[in-house]
Amino acid sequence: MTHYHYLIVGNSVAGVGAAEAIRELDRERSVGIISDEPYHTHSRALIAFYLMGRLTKDGMNYRPRDFYQRLNIDALLGRRAVQISPDAKQLALEDGEEISYDQLLLATGGKAIVPPLPGAKLEGVFTFQSMADVEAVEEALSGCRQAVVIGGGLIGMQAAEALCELGRKVTVVELLPRILAPVLDQTASTYTASLFEQRGVRMITGIGVAEILEKPGEPGKVGGVKLSTGEEIPADMVIMSVGVAPRADLAKAAGLNVGRGIITDRSGTTSAPGIYAAGDCAEGYNRITGATGPMPILPRAYTGGRLAGQNMAGRQATSAGDIAMNASHFFGFPTMSAGIHDTTAPGVPAANYEIITDTRLHDDGYYQKIILRDDKIAGFVLMGSAVDRAGIMTGLMKEELPTAGFRDKLMGHKALISLPDELRRQRLKGR
């Protein structure tokens, strides 16, 4: 039986972060990474750029080709873990091999949610979550003139942008009243939708899909969608993008505590000794809202992986919690949000908020919104050239710095020079 001192399930950002942290502290003991995907350290966030031809597969890799060799890691890629035996400290693979371990990290990521719609299994219906998904979409492009994207979240809009740029007629159907509601406020959402509409993308919001239709005369192939209103929209391709759920089945079957995701403490440790979890498969603590739950955010996955890796290698480290952050660049227009972006959104705690805005979107594409709570930044939305200020805004929010001394400068480019001397020096150094 093969044995690894450190075994990581998932070749994700969280898994890579853990492996790097482990090797910083322990250059000797064995490390193995298992992934059911056969790919190198590629970024899932870039699959739309690959589809548009802006990146090659190698260009999607965020670590060099010799990454595993340089860190002396055994990469068991294209092999699926199917069972964990926590008491025996063993893991079984789908091909029958069993592996023993001393420390185990689950970094299994998330999986696309596929609602049980009639017609969901027709040929030409895809998800847009993985490299395998985008390869399947790429193969079907030659027979696609018009497409429907079900879901107006970040992933769905990335798919819509890519298909639009490739010359396909695209319709986006979002059940909520507006697109990107989990990450943008009304103003930013409306402006982003207008960017798509200007390029011919039809945006349908507040309406659901009742059925995916079969193409007349071609049994088994997708032909369009039927909305809850009864309207039928023809399509050669349908992309499902209604959300992502933590891949926690392996942990749940092993008896670990699982809620919506794998439950861990602030060190990344699960309910089973010697087993850790990080990334999209695990729940996290949102330090701004005080809520605990899945937080599928790329920076959090990496830092969570590093935290788990440090603890696996013997260094005691804990997390103060995470801040939700999201960024997009649709049609070349940058947008970023962090913390609380909408005080009326579900899950936002009741408090006395102060909202400061500078809206010049239709004049020069500039939008800045800052949400204050107890004189501290609790969240923001930035669009256009205002995104240049994301670093300082994020730093002020993380450090919970009272803004009373420079409140009148927050909306201008003079905010940095208004900070206390020591903090300004830290910000200029990027600390």
Q: Which range (7-11, 56-60, 197-201) has the least confidence? A: 56-60
Range 71-90 average pLDDT? 97
Q: Render pLDDT for 258-284 as a digit per residue (tens, 0 to 9).
A: 999 999 999 999 999 999 999 999 999
First CA to last CA across the chain, in angstroms? Answer: 46
Average pLDDT over residues 217-224: 96
Between CA 179 and CA 195 the distance in angstroms is 12
Can you tell me the distance from the alpha carbon of 99 to that of 375, in angstroms, rounded to the nearest whole number? 53
**CATH T-level assignment (fold) for domain 114-242:** FAD/NAD(P)-binding domain (3.50.50)
Matching CATH number, 334-429, of 3.90.79.10, 3.30.390.30, 3.40.190.10, 3.40.640.10? 3.30.390.30
Cβ-count burial of 227 within 10 angstroms (0-12 exposed, 13-18 middle, 19+ buried)? middle
Q: Average pLDDT, stretch 317-322? A: 93
List Cβ neighbours of 417 (8 Å cut-off, separation of 6 or more): 409, 424
> What integer pLDDT is reported at residue 302 of this predicted model?
96
pLDDT of 412: 61
CATH number of the domain at 2-111+245-312, please?
3.50.50.60
Calpha distance 111→260 (Å, rounded): 13
What pLDDT is recorded for position 269? 97
Q: Among residues of the chain, what percentage have pLDDT more than 70?
A: 95
Give the domain ranges of the chain: 2-111+245-312, 114-242, 334-429
pLDDT at 364: 80
Q: Which residue has the higher pLDDT, 406 or 13?
A: 13
**pLDDT 10s digits, 391-421:** 889 989 998 989 887 777 787 655 555 555 5
pLDDT digit string (tens) for 174-202?
A: 999 999 999 999 999 999 999 999 999 99
The answer to whether residue 171 scores a pLDDT higher than 50 is yes
d(CA 192, CA 195): 5
Tokens of 292: 């605990």
Taking residues 308-332, report their average pLDDT: 95
Q: Which of 50-54, 267-271, 296-300, 304-308 is predicted least confidently?
A: 296-300
Long-range contacts (CB closer than 8 Å, 24 or more residues apart) made by 194-199: 195/330, 195/331, 195/333, 196/157, 196/160, 196/161, 196/164, 196/172, 196/330, 196/331, 199/164, 199/331
Q: Do domains 114-242 and 334-429 have the same CATH topology?
A: no
**How confident is the model over 155-169, as pLDDT tens digits?**
999 999 999 999 999
- Torsion from C-alpha of 219, 221, 224, 226, nearest 10 degrees: 60
Q: State the Cα–Cα distance between residues 317 and 22, nearest whole angstrom.
A: 13
Whole-model pTM? 0.93
Q: Are strands 90-93 and 98-106 parallel, antiparallel or unpaired?
A: antiparallel
As given in the structure block, the two tokens for residue 243 are 């959300």
Asked if pLDDT for residue 431 goes beyond 60, the answer is: no
